[in-house]
Structure 1
Amino acid sequence: MHPVYIGTAGWSISSAAASHFPLDGSHLQRYAQVLNCVEINSSFYRSHQSATYARWAASVPDHFRFSVKLPRSITHERRLRDCAAELDRFAGEVMQLGNKLGCVLVQMPPSLRFEADVAFDFLTALRQRFDGMLACEARHPSWFEAGATELLRMQRITRVRADPPAGQPGPHVPTTSVAYLRLHGSPRIYYSDYPAEYLATLAVELRTQMHPDSWCIFDNTAAGAALFNALDLQARLSDSLAAPAHRSI
């Protein structure tokens, strides 16, 4: 089975979920002993010092990976234009994660239309600074049209598969061989708990998928559902790997 990274947006551990994690260490250290990735969303709102990223990297096991969200100053304020200085600053900070930097996540505002020239210049600049995995969660319908799809493929940028989808007019169309799922909670975004049936179906899909690796991030953190959903999905995948294979006679 190919690697599957399962985690949540942020690593806070609620008192309700505390029994599922070790008692000792920081929240990040405890979290990383159980789950194998995390999405850093605080970088969207504010800059973190390089030393902070280095400390986080030193706090987790070798196999653990971080996905870091691009600052909103780039996506929402500058709207992808004239942001070389911001990209340089961000790259210099997050590179302190070393090989534990698994992905850079770009989330577009719903109002941001796909403009071919602007998108090409921005994504080219982004790719020049990051050779690893890049994921894009666009939320305007124009980002799901043929021109945007081709550009994402050309730059090896993974189109995020979001639940609930925003702006996506039809079935998910992947742009790379890697999968990145962001599960925000449905029907109530950021709050709703995913039912067992949904997680069971998702586990089967992840177990049988042909991607080199997959990311599945639960962003339904507002009422504490994300950690439990991530642990549930992880357990279902672990159980399926431990089960003996059925042989036909």
Structure 2
Amino acid sequence: MPIIATAGWSIPKNIADRFATEGSSLTRYASVLNVVEINSTFYRRHKRSTFARWADAVPDSFQFAVKMPKDITHTHAMKCVAGAFSTFIEDIEPLGKKRGPLLCQMPPSLAFDAGIESAFQAMRDCDDGTIVVEARHESWTSADALKLLNTYALDRVFADPSPVWKADEFETPPKYLRLHGRPKIYYSSYTADEIRSFSDMVASDGWCVFDNTAAGAAIDNALTVLEDL
């Protein structure tokens, strides 16, 4: 059964009655959904105590996917990232067994270059957990790019809209879907048929993350999936 999540745990008022009424937003979110993607780590660094508090606020079975800081993917464009990545891993350590995949979302301007291998090597030297890569430059469709990802056991993200890897380019069901909304990215809600097609596409143990959060559609879409399971 796929793992259904949203990017962040904000609960719109119009569906608040479908969640627990007591506790923090995260605790209430966790009363219905058992995984979430942390996006705020992309924009700013959090204290270790913050991750510890989040971990304490959810059940033992709950998991957090964590987005890598833009300092790694954007500012340094995946060059000389060993120190920054090590710091990131130390920061999120309090999540413990509740830590899920790490999301490496690269900027649209970042083309594939064999030199990027040093970044992936640094990541694997530091961490052997699940890392998923959301590339957004078409050069990442090359055979060399795919070979490098496989070498370091990095899973490709299927994104919608899909700027790089299309659905028919996955030999096996993708293990991580990020659904940004269409036609208006981050805002548009998906139809029931679209949601069903995504549910059928993702690996049985894969993550399906709704990132169309700007107008509150993500939670509603996630609940639609849960109702169909």
TM-score of Structure 1 vs Structure 2, range by shorter chain: over 0.9
Larger radius of gyration: 1
TM-score, scaled relative to structure 1: 0.87
Identical positions, percent: 47
**Pairwise mapping of residues 1-249 of structure 1 onto structure 2 (< 5 A)?**
3-117=1-115, 119-168=116-165, 170-174=166-170, 179-206=175-202, 211=203, 213-237=205-229
Query: Contact 1:159–1:176 at 8 Å: present in 2 too?
Result: no
* Unmatched segments (≥5 aa) in structure 1: 238-249
Question: What CA distance in whole angstroms lies between the structure 2 residues aligned with 1:172 and 1:113?
Answer: 22
**Aligned residue type for 2:101:** C
Cα deviation, residue 92, structure 1 = 0.2
TM-score, scaled relative to structure 2: 0.95
Cα deviation, residue 176, structure 1 = 7.6
Query: Contact 2:173–2:201 at 8 Å: present in 1 too?
Result: no
CA RMSD across the alignment: 1.6
Question: What CA distance in whole angstroms lies between the structure 2 residues aligned with 1:61 and 1:100?
Answer: 9
Query: Contact 2:10–2:25 at 8 Å: present in 1 too?
Result: yes
Query: Contact 2:12–2:216 at 8 Å: present in 1 too?
Result: yes
Deviation string, structure 1 residues 123-151 (Cα, Å, up to 9, x no partner): 11112222111100000011121111011
- Match of 1:17, SS state, is helix
Q: Name the CA shift for 1:38/1:17 in 2 (closer, same or farther; >3 Å).
A: same
Cα deviation, residue 167, structure 1 = 3.3
- Match of 1:63, SS state, is coil
